[in-house]
Amino acid sequence: MTVPVEHHHADVSGGGLRAATFGAMDGLVTNIALIAGVGGATADLHTLILTGVAGLVAGAISMAIGEYTSVRTQNEQVAAELAKERHELRVNPNGEADELVAAWTARGLPYDLARQVADVLKDNPEQALRVHAQEELGVVPDELPSPWTAAFSSFVCFAVGALIPLLPLLFGYEPLWAALVVGGLGLFATGAVIARLTARPWWRGGLRQLLLGGAAAGATYVIGSYLGA
């Protein structure tokens, strides 16, 4: 007798991980680039701190609003499509069952088995709606991401990411390179952690984020130096 092996999967449908990842990276890159750009034009510590704090607050609020709006809009669109599907299941259950049979047989399921399952689902409208949503829309109706979770994750993670390159400045350490080095370490560490969560080499993820953030900082520094001159 074969003993089933228990295993667990990470939650990939809640929306929190994507929002947190995007928020942290955006916070780091945005504030590193802002500080580098302004630092290319001026070495005034007060100006650099003001720039970083403004970027942190404005960016965190913007990210939260953007994530909330995008996730809520997506959920509302899914709800509208589910309403259409629920109507079709009510007025044309046989046609909807035929759709499932066609989809399953196209994937190699025996016709008789596909027909049997589709006919059983006709007697359970809510389960039929769930199956149709997965087959036709690629979503699970009761597992949609929360817009509030996405907004909160984005706000907090952006703020934390944006704070990292600010730390040397807040402690009174004026050289621009210190903020950039600390920000670079933050980029590498965040990229490495995300890579580990997705079972990819940590050093590759860290290096990729460091290079991307460094390119953004380099570009804004050059522009800031040019405009400052």
Instruction: Determine, yes or no, domain membership for 8.
Output: no
2 domain residue, yes or no: no
Query: Does 5 fall in a domain?
Result: no
pLDDT at 160: 95
Whether residue 92 lies inside any domain: the answer is yes
Distance, CA of 86 to CA of 130 (rounded, Å): 10
Residue 9 has a CB neighbour count (10 Å cut-off) of 5
On whether residue 4 sits in a domain, the answer given is no
Look at phi and psi of residue 138 and say left if phi exceeds 0, alpha if psi is from -120 to 50, else beta.
left
Number of domains in the chain: 1
Q: Whole domain around residue 98: which residue ranges?
A: 16-224
d(CA 219, CA 199): 31
List the chain residues with pLDDT less than 70. Answer: 1-18, 229
- Does residue 220 belong to any structural domain of this protein? yes
- Whole-model pTM: value is 0.83
| pLDDT, position 162 | 96
Indicate left, alpha or beta for 35 from its phi (over 0: left) and psi (-120 to 50: alpha): alpha
Three-state helix/strand/coil letters over 43-111: CCHHHHHHHHHHHHHHHHHHHHHHHHHHHHHHHHHHHHHHHHHHHHHHHCHHHHHHHHHHHHHHCCCCH
Predicted local confidence at residue 16, as pLDDT: 60
Question: Is 94 inside a domain boundary?
Answer: yes
Which pLDDT score is estimated for 17? 67
Residue 229 lies in a domain: no
